[in-house]
Amino acid sequence: MNERDRTLKAFGRLLDIMDALREKCPWDKEQTIESLRPLTIEETYELSEAILERDHTGIAKELGDMLLHIVFYAKIGSEQQTFSMEDVIQKLSEKLTYRHPHVFGERAVRDSGEVVENWEALKITEKGGNKAVLSGVPLGLPALIKAYRMQDKARAVGFDWEERAQVWDKVEEELAEFKEAQKRDDSPQMEAEFGDLLFSLVNVARLYGINPETALELTNRKFMRRFAYLERETIKKGRSLKEMTLGEMDEIWERAKSITGDE
């Protein structure tokens, strides 16, 4: 039996297990699409964490949990006669085939950038040309991710900087406007200008091939490592952080950079 056959057999076993769970397990029998939703969000973050940690064993485990949720939703949909696992797979296969004409059709592409442009253009035509470019960005996304996705979708239809270096002029412009609002002590305007500044910095990240969400999370973790070192060293000295001067804390903080490998 080759790997593909083993995979199909394993997937069939998973479907059988889900059937048994819905029939015999009190907890699984009670679940609805709505009750699973927050658990699915939690599983998504756990997968994201495993990816950032480059924990391949953890990635496989968390992908399994995500697959469980997909099978669970499809089982409930089948029971309610609204959709089935077959519907899920067929719709995905049709979408992938339609949006990759350079693979399954005659269209030629120059690079991955053109693939993305075609993808977004084809998404719009799927709805008879009536689907707005940004309509596919969920309103519930965290703001940083949402900004990146909106900018990326706008780029796919040609709304972008001609040269990526031009974005720095926009960053400087937004920073100047924030400083002006700060001088006037205009809190509402400061908030608005700070949002514009962040949005322009997300543009910088996107144009230079950086995912801002990943970059910020890596910095968050770096800060946590350094601060944990600062706390440990302070405890060793029999003191509390509140008793220390900023200069004393900075001295330990600088040592933390080399100790934690975060130079």
Largest CA distance in the chain: 73
Residue tagged 């006669």 (tokens): 81
Q: 19: which residues sit within 8 A by CB, 6+ positions away?
A: 75
**pLDDT value of residue 147:** 95
**pLDDT value of residue 106:** 83
In the predicted model, what is the mean pLDDT of residues 256-261? 78
**pLDDT value of residue 130:** 53
In the predicted model, what is the mean pLDDT of residues 106-126? 80
Mean pLDDT for all residues in the chain:
91
Whether pLDDT at 263 is above 70: no
pTM: 0.70
What is d(CA 47, CA 67) in angstroms, rounded to the nearest whole number? 12
What is d(CA 161, CA 220) in angstroms, rounded to the nearest whole number? 29
What is d(CA 142, CA 213) in angstroms, rounded to the nearest whole number? 10
